[in-house]
Chain A
Amino acid sequence: MTMIEAIREAHDVAMAADERVVVFGEDVGFFGGVFRCTAGLQEKYGKSRCFDAPINESGIVGTAIGMAAYGLKPVIEIQFADYVYPAYDQIVSEAARLRHRSNADFTCPLVIRMPTGGGIFGGQTHSQSPEALFTHVSGLKVVMPSNPRDAKGLLLAAVADPDPVIFFEPKRLYNGPFDGHHDKPVESWKSHPLGEVPDGDEIVPLGKAAIRREGAEVTVLAYGTMVFVAEAAAEETGVDAEVIDLRSLMPLDLEAIVGSVQKTGRCVIVHEATRTCGFGAELMALVQEHCFYHLEAPVIRVTGWDTPYPHAQEWEYFPGPGRVGEALKKVMEE
């Protein structure tokens, strides 16, 4: 099953189980979304539970907050993460704070889904990874699956969660795993074990990381597309790296991070987003705070550059297996 199918199935399971779940966003109704993640839902559940919204992200989030305050569970789509900024005030000042400021008189069980990341020649307006803008905000949960199995389980957990969840979907992984070798033939999820998605309503809990590759020499902290890039880099360099897929950035599985880094004594952090004040900075600070006396070498970040996401220079921007491999070798030299 592809990640698109897994996300669609999570919607289907959630909508069948709970009539309070409503789904809307730009093009999500009749058409089923530009990436097809909501295809068939309007036909199955009716127009009042899955519908098209005007092109107004702050309106989509603002109305969803009102619906959540009423008692519904909106699962809304922002067509690209790059388009979320008009809704930032509603997310940061409102969704994230209703519970705290009203002492739970009003709450905001809301899931905001958005495709994120590059590798599809989307240029600067269809490739961004703005996760750190949301992990910085108290009151939000932030999730990014890297595969169909997690996408379904995490989305179901997000829908069940009593607080607002920002749900990032790495669009380069929608149809298959991608290790950053863009010149190789495209892979499909069909032959990948993480493309096998269990039926039913099994969740993947928020706040739990997964070890994708066990290793003894260096810990790689990654999420989304970078999980596969890191795995490829480990294979190609022969460095015995332990690759941790964080899955959930807020809450964060600090125990898994600390356990691994204390074991390996080395750490490389990989994300596609720009470097300065990126989520890697928080990870690096936490590793320093909790693992300083176990470290054999300085922690290295491999990230997108601090530039707008370029078009023609996409593969020079994208932190591919070459750059991650260099970091693995460098961290082993110390």
Chain B
Amino acid sequence: MTSDTRPLSLNVPEPGCRPGSTPDFSGFEIPRAGAVPRPPVDVDPDAIRDMAFSIVRVLNKDGEAVGDWAGALSTEELHEGLRHMLLLRTFDARMLNAQRQGKTSFYMQHLGEEAVSCAFSRALEPGDMNFPTYRQAGLLIASGYPMVTMMNQIYSNAEDPLHGRQLPIMYSSKEHGFFTISGNLGTQFVQSVGWAMASAISGDTRIAAGWIGDGSTAENDFHAAMVFASTYTAPVVLNIVNNQWAISTFQGIARGGVGTFAARGHGFGIASVRVDGNDYLAVHAVAKWACERARRGHGPTLIEHVSYRAGGHSTSDDPSAYRSRREAAAWPLGDPVERLKKHLIAIGEWSEERHAQAEAEVLDTVRAAQKEAEAIGTLSAGKVPSPRDMFEGVYETMPPHLIRQRQEAGF
């Protein structure tokens, strides 16, 4: 050791703002809406490396849709998109409250992230398969999955399609292109690549969409998914939802020294794009581009949806313990519902009155579903699944040792 060598120290990144301090997003670079051009779907990933450091945005601050990525959706589709987001937000609020009332054990909401799953859903075709995390229920709502069935699952009542075996919100619906959710983070990301490989092996035209959070990109499964997707040019869209927070851990802990999560794709030769996750039109346009790319055999796309988790991680979380209460309001990409509403008003297709009316109708819809679900039962009351159900379905045919255990348990 030479005399000028000083002792080393460990670098532990810190977020810009903690409780009690003032949120400051001045270092967060936001390109103007319409600034990023839309490349052809067969573009060489190397030719669009800059897209991993910019953000595709369609809606500008005045609510106008601008640039190459605009114009993909009709007014009717935009109305429907707004309704999906309102449904999801209202559903979340009611279920969060139901958890507080003891009707279920656990809930996870989407507040601030509604556009990501609701808009992405519209880019898929029937038969495609999502491998979601726990914060993409918009995929179900936007694809017409019955809300009362979601509630039955959350309440673990007698009509829960999963027979009370799974944690609330860990839905499963093959019919609606929604793979059974795992609570072990990241595992589904590489499974989506396998599903897509199977489609290619089978000469099919269906594609898969994998989902992961910013924090879970640190998992080995993320790396495995990228290697396999790259090697086999799998027809898959790999989505990272960067909502800035992994429970109390800010995104810088998983991201490390790299500029963006999207840039992780460069080392794998995967087309990598960042999108404004709070811009319904931008998410849809980028999703459509990536899905077409996959379906036409041009390979995988990595999409980083830049958003913000405005609520707690789950009902077991209190974000005020680790981040400023004012941070959500200071988030520079705004609120996805407000932004789409503003756009529709700007093009003369919406009004405050119609919005209030839509909110009221959505509330009625959610309340009716809730009433129906609660008439069946909740975790604490009413009709519940049979204890026999826990022994069923471990294997297709129940082996002798499980039959003996079920008898021992008295069911």
Contacts and interface: CB of A to CB of B under 8 A. Distances in A.
Interface stretch (B191-199, B318-326, B359-367): B191-199
Contact of B162 (A103, A139, A251, A252): A103
Interface string A48-92: 110001101011001111110111100000000000001001100
Interface residues of B, number: 45
A325 B225 CA distance: 50
B90 interface: no
A256 to B, nearest CB: 12
Contacts of A99: 393-396
A192 interface: no
B224 A62 contact: yes
A101 B193 contact: no
Contacts of A48: 200-201
Interface in B204-231: 208, 220-221, 223-225, 227-228, 231
Nearest to A52: B231
A246 to B, nearest CB: 14
B187 A106 contact: no
B399 interface: yes
A54 B180 CA distance: 26
B150 to A, nearest CB: 14
A58 B396 contact: no
A63 B193 contact: yes
A122 interface: no
B128 to A, nearest CB: 12
Nearest to B180: A102
B280 interface: no
B141 interface: no
Contacts of B162: 101-103
Contact of B165 (A62, A65, A100, A107): A100
Given A94-B184, A103-B162, A252-B401, A69 B179 contact: yes
Nearest to A163: B395
A18 to B, nearest CB: 13
Contacts of A157: none
A276 interface: no
Given A93-B187, A254-B400, A101 B200 contact: no
A54 B395 CA distance: 30
Given A72-B202, A139-B395, A162-B396, A64 B194 contact: yes
A251 B398 CA distance: 10
A253 to B, nearest CB: 9
Interface residues of A, number: 43
Contacts of B190: 58-59, 62-63, 66, 90
Nearest to A62: B190
A71 B198 contact: yes
A291 interface: no
B334 interface: no
Nearest to B189: A62
A100 B221 contact: no
Given A63-B190, A104-B393, A58 B180 contact: no
A105 B172 contact: yes
Given A56-B224, A102-B172, A138-B394, A66 B187 contact: no
A98 interface: yes
A251 B400 contact: yes
A112 to B, nearest CB: 13
Interface string A138-176: 110100000000000000000000110000000000000
A145 B23 CA distance: 63
A207 B192 CA distance: 32
Contacts of A4: none
A54 B228 CA distance: 7
A53 B234 CA distance: 14
Interface string B142-178: 0000000000000000000111011000101110000
Contacts of B250: none
Contact of B399 (A53, A63, A86, A207): A207
Contacts of B163: 103
B134 interface: no
B230 to A, nearest CB: 9
Interface string A291-312: 0000000000000000000000
A66 B194 contact: yes
A320 B162 CA distance: 49
A268 to B, nearest CB: 23
Contact of B227 (A54, A94, A138): A54
B394 A100 contact: yes
Interface of B: 129, 131, 161-163, 165-166, 170, 172-174, 179-180, 182, 184, 187, 190-202, 208, 220-221, 223-225, 227-228, 231, 393-396, 399-401
27 contacts: A54-B227, A59-B225, A62-B187, A62-B191, A62-B193, A63-B197, A65-B191, A66-B190, A66-B194, A66-B195, A69-B129, A69-B194, A70-B195, A70-B202, A71-B198, A71-B202, A94-B184, A101-B165, A103-B162, A103-B163, A104-B393, A106-B172, A107-B396, A162-B396, A251-B400, A251-B401, A254-B400
